[in-house]
């Protein structure tokens, strides 16, 4: 009986011939991640363990990205705790303001994650690295403290749901639309405790940016991980960056899946997810008349160069609607620099958008774009829970970069062809 991609990776890291869904295993981790919100708590727990060293300084990554550049005094104090820990333990991959990026854009870009890795991060969107054929999953600070100390972590082997996408995508449809549509189909707990395996001709044709976007939102269906098979697209991306050798695992042809879902991707139109759950997805043309106050383009979901190109393509030669604040946030310093070189930043500014240094800021209502009561935002981020971006009575509509940019121009939710 064959095994899924998730089972193959976990078996290898547990030192076992094979593992089965439901089995508890202890696995070696290749990389442990935390950020300025979760690291301080993890450090406090780490210090209770009675050990003085992290298991491998080159495999403990900390990124200052959520409330940075420091939004207030408590955030500054949190960052200091994290910075001092990084210096004390000689962590070569500690990323502070000026060299940082939004963690899940930054780590793949810096070649710190590769196919076949097991990555645990104190951030729920750690599942993003599944796009590279890694088993990557989010955990809390205590789990991360233990992983930093021991290089090992316990896991329950998840069942896998295979999703097969068929067909060529319509214009303006990308990874964000595919994953919003999928979450709309299976629900926000449709894959709870399980792994998703994305496959089919549609995703084979998708670039890495689109795959990162899809894997990023696996957690929004409750999944533990969302994985893609490694192919030429993955290798081209990884071989240009990898700092460590990697190993490619493949699902067996006779792998046993909890279920298989087939999606006719050729019929999917640009999507928008209505408040207050990512599963409230529908075609943007069926949104009705929804005026917006703010558009956010960026985040670990859609802050890559390809995303900014899409948004700039819509905004070029147009103006952001006078009632809309449009905030563009490149996902890393490198993305920012390339966007600058390509003229994208100039396009954004000429269109009346604000361009920010990389930060998670507005996505979680931290800073750089917090909403007032009754305000509506269209956002390329990943969550639209009540109060996610600010006041409990504000509303977030999730969409891809093209729809967000078109909506910024129209002043209301809009399809890029309708502006």
Partner 1 sequence: MAIRGRVWKYGDHVDTDAIIPARYLSLVTPAELARHCLEGLDPAFASTVRPGDILVVGDNFGCGSSREHAPVAIQGAGVGAVVARSFARIFYRNAINIGLPILECPAAVDDAETGHELEINLAAGRIHNRTTGRTHRAEPYPPFMLEIIQAGGLIPYTRQRIENRQT
Kindly state the smallest distance separating residue 113's Cβ from partner 1, in Å.
17
Contact pick of 52, 77, 250, 323 for partner 1 (by CB under 8 A)? 77
69 prior amide bond cis, ω within 30: yes
What part of residues 173-232 is at the interface with partner 1 (CB under 8 A)?
A: 188-189, 192-193, 219, 222, 224
Closest Cα to residue 124, out of 364, 333, 304?
A: 364
Kindly state the smallest distance separating residue 30's Cβ from partner 1, in Å.
19
User: In angstroms, rounded to a whole number, what is the distance separating the alpha carbons of residues 52 and 302?
Assistant: 38
Kindly state the smallest distance separating residue 96's Cβ from partner 1, in Å.
17
Pair type for strands 294-298 and 271-273 = unpaired
Contact pick of 138, 330, 400, 416 for partner 1 (by CB under 8 A)? 138
Own/partner contacts of 365-373, CB < 8 Å, gap of 24 or more, are: 365/389, 365/390, 366/66, 366/67, 366/71, 367/67, 367/71, 368/71, 368/327, 368/329, 369/294, 369/296, 369/325, 369/327, 371/293, 371/294, 371/395, 371/396
Per CB under 8 A, 103 contacts partner 1:
no
Task: Decide: helix, strand or coil at residue 313.
Answer: helix
Q: Looking at beta carbons only, is 376 or 383 nearer to partner 1?
A: 383
Kindly state the smallest distance separating residue 405's Cβ from partner 1, in Å.
25
Stretch that binds partner 1, among 8-16, 135-143, 235-243, 373-381 (CB under 8 A): 135-143
Kindly state the smallest distance separating residue 189's Cβ from partner 1, in Å.
4
Which distant-in-sequence residues (6+ apart) come within 8 Å of 221 by Cβ? 182, 183, 186, 187, 188, 189, 190, 191, 192, 196
Which segments within 318-403 are labelled E, that is strand?
325-329, 354-355, 376-379, 395-399
Per CB under 8 A, 69 contacts partner 1:
no
- DSSP for residue 206: S
Contact pick of 16, 142, 205, 354 for partner 1 (by CB under 8 A)? 142
Closest Cα to residue 328, out of 343, 313, 308, 350?
A: 308
State phi, psi for 332 to the nearest 5 degrees.
Answer: -160, 170
User: In angstroms, rounded to a whole number, what is the distance separating the alpha carbons of residues 21 and 7?
Assistant: 8
**Count of residues in the chain:** 419
What part of residues 13-32 is at the interface with partner 1 (CB under 8 A)?
A: 24
Stretch that binds partner 1, among 41-49, 128-136, 209-217, 288-296 (CB under 8 A): 41-49
Stretch that binds partner 1, among 75-83, 162-170, 197-205, 335-343 (CB under 8 A): 75-83
Stretch that binds partner 1, among 168-176, 331-339, 344-352, 360-368 (CB under 8 A): 360-368
State phi, psi for 50 to the nearest 5 degrees.
Answer: 75, 20
Write down the H helix ranges in 160-207.
Answer: 175-186, 201-204
Per CB under 8 A, 55 contacts partner 1:
no
Kindly state the smallest distance separating residue 10's Cβ from partner 1, in Å.
15
Per CB under 8 A, 104 contacts partner 1:
no
What part of residues 253-282 is at the interface with partner 1 (CB under 8 A)?
A: 277
Instruction: Judge contact between 200 and 165, C-beta under 8 A.
Output: yes
Number of residues that bind partner 1 (CB under 8 A): 52
Q: Looking at beta carbons only, is 37 or 268 nearer to partner 1?
A: 37
DSSP line for 392-403: TT-EEEEE-HHH
Contact pick of 5, 9, 29, 41 for partner 1 (by CB under 8 A)? 41
Contact pick of 53, 80, 87, 156 for partner 1 (by CB under 8 A)? 156
Stretch that binds partner 1, among 229-237, 284-292, 305-313, 380-388 (CB under 8 A): 380-388
State phi, psi for 213 to the nearest 5 degrees.
Answer: -60, -45
Stretch that binds partner 1, among 86-94, 110-118, 294-302, 358-366 (CB under 8 A): 358-366
What part of residues 282-341 is at the interface with partner 1 (CB under 8 A)?
A: none
Write down the H helix ranges in 37-171.
Answer: 39-46, 73-88, 103-109, 141-150
DSSP H/E element including 348: helix 344-351
Contact pick of 383, 398, 401, 413 for partner 1 (by CB under 8 A)? 383
Kindly state the smallest distance separating residue 237's Cβ from partner 1, in Å.
26
Per CB under 8 A, 123 contacts partner 1:
yes
Pair type for strands 94-95 and 152-156 = unpaired
Chain residues binding partner 1 by CB under 8 A are 24, 37-38, 40-41, 44-45, 48-51, 66-67, 72, 74-75, 77-78, 121-124, 126, 138-143, 145-146, 149-150, 154, 156, 188-189, 192-193, 219, 222, 224, 277, 364-366, 383, 385-388, 392
């Amino acid at each position: 009986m064959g095994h899924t991609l998730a089972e193959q990776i976990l078996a290898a890291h547990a030192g076992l011939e094979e593992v089965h869904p439901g089995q508890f295993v202890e696995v070696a981790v290749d990389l442990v991640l935390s950020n300025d919100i979760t690291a301080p708590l993890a450090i406090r727990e780490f210090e209770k363990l009675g050990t003085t060293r992290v298991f491998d300084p080159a495999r403990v990554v900390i990124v200052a990205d959520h409330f940075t550049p420091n939004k207030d005094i408590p955030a500054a104090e949190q960052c200091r705790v994290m910075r001092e820990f990084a210096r004390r333990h000689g962590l070569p991959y500690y990323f502070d303001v000026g060299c940082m990026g939004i963690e899940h854009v930054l780590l793949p870009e810096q070649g710190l994650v590769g196919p076949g890795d097991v990555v645990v991060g104190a951030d729920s969107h750690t599942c993003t690295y599944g796009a590279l054929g890694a088993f990557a999953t989010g955990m809390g600070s205590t789990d991360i403290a233990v992983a930093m100390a021991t290089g090992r972590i316990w896991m329950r082997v998840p069942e896998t749901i295979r999703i097969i996408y068929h067909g060529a995508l319509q214009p303006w449809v990308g990874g964000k639309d595919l994953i919003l549509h999928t979450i709309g189909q299976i629900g926000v707990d449709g894959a709870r405790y399980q792994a998703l395996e994305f496959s089919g001709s549609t995703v084979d044709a998708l670039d890495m940016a689109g795959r990162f976007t899809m894997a990023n939102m696996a957690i929004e269906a409750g999944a533990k991980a969302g994985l893609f098979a490694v192919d030429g697209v993955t290798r081209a991306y990884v071989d240009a960056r990898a700092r460590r050798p990697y190993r490619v695992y493949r699902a067996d042809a006779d792998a046993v899946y909890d279920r298989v879902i087939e999606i006719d991707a050729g019929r999917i139109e640009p999507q928008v997810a209505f408040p207050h759950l990512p599963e409230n997805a529908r075609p943007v043309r069926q949104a009705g008349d929804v005026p917006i106050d703010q558009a956010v383009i960026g985040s670990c979901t859609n802050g890559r160069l390809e995303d900014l190109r899409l948004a700039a393509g819509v905004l070029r030669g147009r103006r952001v609607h006078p009632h809309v604040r449009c905030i563009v946030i490149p996902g890393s310093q490198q993305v920012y620099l390339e966007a600058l070189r390509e003229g994208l930043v100039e396009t954004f500014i000429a269109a009346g958008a604000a361009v920010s240094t990389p930060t998670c800021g507005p996505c979680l209502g931290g800073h750089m774009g917090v909403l007032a009561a009754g305000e509506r935002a269209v956002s390329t981020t990943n969550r639209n829970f009540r109060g996610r971006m600010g006041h409990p009575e504000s509303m977030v509509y999730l969409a891809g970069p093209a729809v967000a940019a078109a909506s910024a121009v129209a002043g209301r939710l809009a399809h890029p062809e309708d502006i």
